[in-house]
Amino acid sequence: MKFFIDTANLDQIKEAQDLGVLDGVTTNPTLMAKEGITGEANVTAHYLAICDIVDDNVSAEVISTTYDEMIKEGEALAKLNPKIVVKIPMIKDGVKAIKYLTSKGIRTNCTLIFSAGQALLAAKAGASYVSPFLGRLDDIGNDGLNLIEDIRLIFDNYEYPTEILAASIRSPLHIINCAKLGADVITSPLSAIVGLLKHPLTDSGLAQFLADHDKAAKAAL
Ligand code: G3P
C-alpha cells in the first residue's frame, strides 16, 4: 500500500519524507489556503516546492468547474512537473475532463468520491486514482469503510487499473482498516501515520531492555 500525506505544509511533508515511507502528497484548495498560499504564482511555486521534496505523486487540484477550463488548468498543472497528478472533482464536466486528460497521458485523481457509482464512472473515464472520503462519510453516520470494500470489489471484477486512494483519513485505525480492505493508497495527516508506530508495550519493553543493559554493564565494572 502506498502512503501519501494529505497536507500542503512543507515541514510536515519533509518530516514524512524523512521517515522513509512517503509515496506522495495530496493537496486541495482548503489545505493550500490553510498554509496561506494564494495567487497563481505562489500556488505554482508551492507545488514546485512540494515536488522538490517527494519522489512522485503530487496531487494538485483544479479550481475551475467547466470542461474547457478544467482541461486548460489541468494541462498547465501537469506541465509544471512530471510528478504532478491533476485532481479533478467528481462532477459531469470532471468526468469528461478526466477522459480527455487521460488520453493526453496526464495522470488524474478524481476527488470527492462518496459512492461506488461515482468511483465506477471515474474508473471508466480512466482516472489514475479515485479518492473516496472515509472520514466525511463517517461524520454523517455512514460507514466509509463499506465504500472502500465496494469499490475494491467492483474494480477487481473488471480489473480496472484505477487505484483506490482512501482519503479523509482521521486515525491510525482508519489506515489499518484500509490496508485490510485492499485500498491501494491512503492519504493521511502526519499524525495518523506517526500514530501507527506507537504502542505502550514497545515503550515499556524498550525501557526494560535499556535498564537491563545498564544494570549488567554496571555489574561488570
Ligand atoms: O484531501 C482530501 C481529503 O483527504 C480531505 O479530508 O479531513 O478534510 O475530510 P478531510
Q: Do strands 84-89 and 58-61 pair parallel, antiparallel, or not at all (unpaired)?
A: parallel
Closest residue CA from atom 5 of ligand 1 = 168
Query: If DSSP states are collapsed to H, E and C, what string results for 40-65?
Result: HHHHHHHHHHHHHHCCCCEEEECCCC
Q: Cα 213 to chain center, whole Å?
A: 42
State the pLDDT at residue 11.
98
The answer to whether the CB of 188 is under 6 A from ligand 1 is no
Q: Which residues are catalytic?
A: 87
Q: Mean pLDDT for the chain? A: 98
For 150, other C-beta atoms within 10 Å of its C-beta total 17
How far, in Å, CA of 168 to CA of 142, rounded? 14
If you average pLDDT over residues 207-214, what whole number do you get? 98
Enumerate the domain spans of the chain. 2-219
The answer to whether the CB of 28 is under 6 A from ligand 1 is yes
Band of residue 214 on the pLDDT scale cut at 50, 70, 90: very high
Full-model pTM? 0.96
How far, in Å, CA of 91 to CA of 81, rounded? 25
Q: Do strands 108-113 and 129-132 pair parallel, antiparallel, or not at all (unpaired)?
A: parallel
Q: Tell me the torsion sign for CA atoms 190, 192, 197, 198.
A: positive
Determine the residue of 136, 140, 148 to mutate for testing ligand 1's pocket, defined as the one with the most ligand atoms within 8 A of the Cβ atom. Answer: 136
Q: 79-132 pLDDT, tens per residue?
A: 999 999 999 999 999 999 999 999 999 999 999 999 999 999 999 999 999 999
State the pLDDT at residue 136.
98
The answer to whether the CB of 129 is under 6 A from ligand 1 is no
78: cell is 501537469
Of the candidates 89, 135, 132, the residue with the CA atom closest to the CA atom of residue 108: 89
Band of residue 54 on the pLDDT scale cut at 50, 70, 90: very high
CATH of the domain spanning 2-219: 3.20.20.70
State the pLDDT at residue 180.
98
Query: What b-and-e string marks burial along 2-32, b requiring 16 or more CB atoms within 10 Å of the CB?
Result: bbbbbbbbeebbeebbeeeebbbbbbbeebb
If you average pLDDT over residues 125-142, what whole number do you get? 98
The answer to whether the CB of 26 is under 6 A from ligand 1 is yes
Q: How far is the CA of 49 from the centre of ligand 1 (A)?
A: 21
If you average pLDDT over residues 23-52, what whole number do you get? 97
State the pLDDT at residue 12.
98
Determine the residue of 7, 28, 165, 169 to mutate for testing ligand 1's pocket, defined as the one with the most ligand atoms within 8 A of the Cβ atom. Answer: 28
If you average pLDDT over residues 190-199, what whole number do you get? 97
If you average pLDDT over residues 25-41, what whole number do you get? 97
If you average pLDDT over residues 61-84, what whole number do you get? 98
